[in-house]
Chains A and B, each alone.
Chain A
């Protein structure tokens, strides 16, 4: 079957079979920034935005993407580059394998927090929001420092 959807602001058609999950179809189509680590929706590495909301692409059928707008970290070039500099300053990406999913989720979180009117970065709230984004290298502390610094740089 053929899917029509918008990926990173481009209209695309994807070939897939009915049982395929979205992460596999995206990777096969060249979106290698969508990483796969657990296949059970537990780790957050395959996070994409579907119509603006984060979803675990390993745990939904590709067919669900029909007509949808999909964004990967490569589609958020400007914000992703800015956030990446803060993560890199802490060395918090370490192996980097979880970073694209984490960065995308973090950007969605920042947007949501701003929409809620949050002024000061609420680390506990952020840890809760990002609890589903696992990282085995960093111990998370550097990621949280990077997010706080990124948030505060936006306040300036």
Chain B
């Protein structure tokens, strides 16, 4: 297919690349007005406490302090910070500020001052008296604990999500297809095991930031590092009790998101200050605040059972999850459901499948959206289990997967039953090159060439492992994107999109789609994105939706734009639209006769055509009927040091089916980055608290992310694949890339030493302990 494309499927540089690399002011904090008040937040030192009193007098008396706000100064409206469709599947269990604080770092008061130094000084002058409550920190002890984290009466869900706050349950769900107990009972081999995944921090390089000001119409304008400006506007309107017409949200460049900016974090506070003082207000979190008070990945316990026939045919899979949402329930239901809905369809030929569980509150920081969104947790459990089954059956793990995994043209009942917070949609997997991905991955890693494990030096074992993974491409019938195009004088086009480029390059690839559809060069498309006043609606960048959902909207708008151009030329020259052709520069008759060029058309329609002058434009929206999954076959070669327990990743091979890659270089970078984040989760990243619920890993010293020395080679290849429902054949690539490393590495460790690690991360301590237990 790629041969026929002239802009799409080309590795063009990002349209903002050169400016960003050279440090042009482009991110929220770069753009904040110099005279804006500096906003700082007083945070709870206790994991669970009731605020008995707050004395702000000394802080307010300090010169340069503009305001100090606490729970008494904000509307008592429960809302959710989660940026999701409406009505949100997350419970409304949060107030901008509350009399109770529910984790160390929870906001107590907001200070605004003329300078950062004064703001910090003011924070130290606020006197708060707390009634310290016993915190609930162990998520496995949360359900029906005598400590109740959310006793407040006003909180509620927006539709039934199994919300039972009196039992510390934020959400619950269960489904069963077929008869799981019957199929397990009649299976020749039945295995069961429990897995645990840790909480991981996003560590987007740009800390969360926002600034707000009142414009000339006294409207509240907020610039924010957000993945979803339109949701942010809606959430702020709700939390502040403001009509949405009074709010504008703009997203400048973002320094990474990975889900961490799919919630509102600082936006409510700069808005409060701006409304209270009439002054511009800015807030950029410190790294410590990002660690302590923004979101993390949901910690999970996943209890698996699997039943198969001796020939390797899998009969039944049962996945039961307990998920830790922390102090508030943002993304509680949906992340947990994705743990099943984006993993179980991999094995779509089972006779029975069951999924269920609970999402519980604890007095730790909130968990939220994080690339993979539950699928990485579920994948670790499921794909570890598949290797366990292969071992029990004495089958090659690759052969076992080939026998059971999803194939092109098939479907999965799971997709029909499980949506995100509601019923799903029935869909056929029209593009699925997983079989190719697995076969090619075997070649690249040398799966069959040598034994899966070999000792390369005394105590050093090189071993291979693999896992397959899938994700979605947006949320069908929930996610919607829009695009609007307009011909401007000079023969170039405005492309206005609600979509949110969070560093992935979506502004570029969406412009590529528009250019391809119109037949014009990329340089003819001027992109303006992510501004609730000036771009059409889009849910934002999450759920791997932008290329597929927003991309389809851009494709539709560009096709309409082309039809509008042709129709205008036909009218101007009194010919039939069927006789007019456009080659990207010139308009011709089908017989080859030149009519006029695009530039002259733009001048004619805007300046010369008298009463017929008109702006030529087109707008289109798209919401997916389906969510075609991208797939990855991940293969890893590790080196296990049996003296120290340390695991090194020598090579990671990811063969990806993302449909047509609109920009192969940008798709590759996404996969390489996703794989490394997955390796970080597998090997060492870990959010840790002390016994009082204080975060121990609150800096980049104590919480390490992979450096360029922590990885050998990452080899990425793309399968030739074409998704008929995608724009120019594209699916998504952002999230699926992170999913396979934990299971693939766990499986390699099993192949290396016969030890099955069931809890991420696989630290040297855990590896050594397992090696010692194996000996005894």
Chain A positions near chain B (C-beta within 8 angstroms):
17, 24, 32-40, 42-43, 45, 72-74, 77, 80-81, 83-85, 87-100, 103, 127-128, 130-144
Q: Do B673 and A138 have beta carbons less than 8 Å apart? A: yes
Q: Do B27 and A138 have beta carbons less than 8 Å apart? A: no
- Contact with A131, one of B13, B203, B207, B707 (Cβ below 8 angstroms): B707
Chain B nearest CB from A76 CB (Å) reads 9
Q: Do B203 and A32 have beta carbons less than 8 Å apart? A: no
Q: Does B711 contact A (CB under 8 A)?
A: yes
Complex interface: stretch among B18-26, B177-185, B565-573, B588-596: B18-26
Q: Do B207 and A37 have beta carbons less than 8 Å apart? A: yes
Q: Does B50 contact A (CB under 8 A)?
A: no
- Contact with A95, one of B206, B665, B675, B677 (Cβ below 8 angstroms): B206
Chain A nearest CB from B669 CB (Å) reads 5
Q: Do B287 and A136 have beta carbons less than 8 Å apart? A: no
Known A-B contacts A136-B205, A140-B711; the reply to A90 vs B24 at CB < 8 A is: no
Question: Chain B residue with minimal CB distance to A76?
Answer: B22
Q: Does B253 contact A (CB under 8 A)?
A: yes
Known A-B contacts A94-B504, A136-B203, A136-B256; the reply to A33 vs B18 at CB < 8 A is: no
Q: Do B669 and A137 have beta carbons less than 8 Å apart? A: yes
Known A-B contacts A81-B22, A91-B668, A143-B708; the reply to A97 vs B503 at CB < 8 A is: yes
Q: Does B714 contact A (CB under 8 A)?
A: yes
A sample of 26 cross-chain residue pairs with beta-carbon separation below 8 angstroms, ordered by A number, consists of: A17-B117, A33-B22, A37-B207, A37-B287, A40-B699, A43-B205, A45-B205, A73-B21, A80-B22, A92-B669, A95-B206, A95-B256, A97-B205, A97-B255, A97-B256, A97-B503, A100-B22, A103-B22, A128-B709, A130-B708, A135-B673, A135-B708, A137-B673, A140-B676, A140-B707, A140-B708
Interface size on B, residues (CB 8 A): 58
Q: Do B204 and A136 have beta carbons less than 8 Å apart? A: yes
Question: Chain A residue with minimal CB distance to B256?
Answer: A95
Chain B nearest CB from A29 CB (Å) reads 11
Q: Does B17 contact A (CB under 8 A)?
A: yes
Known A-B contacts A96-B20, A138-B673, A139-B669; the reply to A39 vs B286 at CB < 8 A is: yes
- Contact with A94, one of B673, B711, B714 (Cβ below 8 angstroms): B673
Chain A nearest CB from B444 CB (Å) reads 15
Chain B nearest CB from A94 CB (Å) reads 5
- Contact with B22, one of A43, A84, A142 (Cβ below 8 angstroms): A84
Docked complex Cα distance between A74 and B23 (Å): 7
**Extra contacts besides A140-B711, A141-B714 (8): CB < 8 Å:** A33-B24, A37-B206, A80-B22, A91-B665, A91-B669, A99-B20, A131-B709, A136-B204
Q: Do B700 and A40 have beta carbons less than 8 Å apart? A: yes
Q: Which 6 A-B pairs have the closest CB atoms?
A: A33-B23, A95-B503, A96-B20, A97-B255, A139-B672, A100-B23
Q: Name the B residues within 8 Å of A72 (CB-CB).
A: 23
Q: Does B100 contact A (CB under 8 A)?
A: no
